[in-house]
Amino acid sequence: KNQVEQSPQSLIILEGKNCTLQCNYTVSPFSNLRWYKQDTGRGPVSLTIMTFSENTKSNGRYTATLDADTKQSSLHITASQLSDSASYICVVVTRRALTFGSGTRLQVQP
Amino acid sequence: GAVVSQHPSWVICKSGTSVKIECRSLDFQATTMFWYRQFPKQSLMLMATSNEGSKATYEQGVEKDKFLINHASLTLSTLTVTSAHPEDSSFYICSAMGPGGTYSYNEQFFGPGTRLTVL
């Protein structure tokens, strides 16, 4: 069964600190992996998209890594800001479907 | 990036009434749009795939007669929740597949969502 598991479920950090979110998947055949940021009451916004051959991709303070062999991905947030408070969703794409993780709820406190 | 809008952003209706939600791709043509629903603190659940000019494909367990989808143009898809009940209260999100390429590599651009509350 195709699954995407994210950890932790929730995370509280202080402003300015770094954090890393994890995503493990069993989806196959793998096409690409995406990280989205979803603010409360809003639709998801794409942060990164990585294909099989890409190990790392950055978007500003967000850096995603992918290990296709172990089927793991991570999203690292550097120098967190209050505006980073949101849910972060890992999505693994096959040829025919998207499989969503349940997300990590991040709260950045001043 | 491509912009997808939804209207309305929130709606409150009485039980038994029907509600229509619009999803528009503002600066690109989208042959395929998707409808999701999201319950509090849960991830998005795909309801149906909407293809322009053809019938929508519904996911297992989603009642096609209750959730009517019309994709009449390349920039507009609508979801109508018929005879809404309180259990239909949810956050409905649409997405549109970006132009060009194959499905696998096209990014989906999500709308801002519509909060439906059925009293």
* pLDDT surpassing 50 at residue B45: yes
pLDDT at B1: 63
Contact A3/B at CB under 8 A: no
Task: Please say whether the beta carbons of B81 and B67 come within 8 A.
Answer: yes
C-alpha–C-alpha distance, residues B52 and B23, integer Å: 13
CB contact under 8 A, B110 and A36: yes
pLDDT at B104: 46
Q: How far is CA A37 from the centre of its chain?
A: 8
Distant-in-sequence, close-in-space partners of B119: CB < 8 Å, separation ≥ 6: B12, B13, B14, B15, B86
CB contact under 8 A, A46 and B109: yes
C-alpha–C-alpha distance, residues B76 and B30, integer Å: 8
* pLDDT surpassing 60 at residue B102: no
Phi/psi of residue A48, nearest 5 degrees: -145, 155
Residue B3 pLDDT grade (very low, low, confident, very high; cuts 50, 70, 90): confident
* pLDDT surpassing 90 at residue B51: no
For the ranges A65-79, B7-21, B53-67, B96-110, the lowest mean pLDDT is seen at B96-110
A32, A41, A45 ranked by CB distance to B115: nearest = A41
For the ranges A69-78, A83-92, B7-16, B32-41, the lowest mean pLDDT is seen at B32-41
pLDDT at B100: 63
Largest CA distance in chain B: 43
For the CA atoms of chain A, what is the radius of gyration? 13
**Closest Cα of chain A to B72: distance in Å?**
23
Chain B residues in contact with A34 (beta carbon < 8 A): 107
C-alpha–C-alpha distance, residues B118 and A54, integer Å: 45
- Amino acid B36 reads Y
Contact A43/B at CB under 8 A: yes
- Contacts across the A-B interface (CB distance below 8 Å): 46
Task: Give the residue-averaged pLDDT of A6-10.
Answer: 96
Contact B16/A at CB under 8 A: no
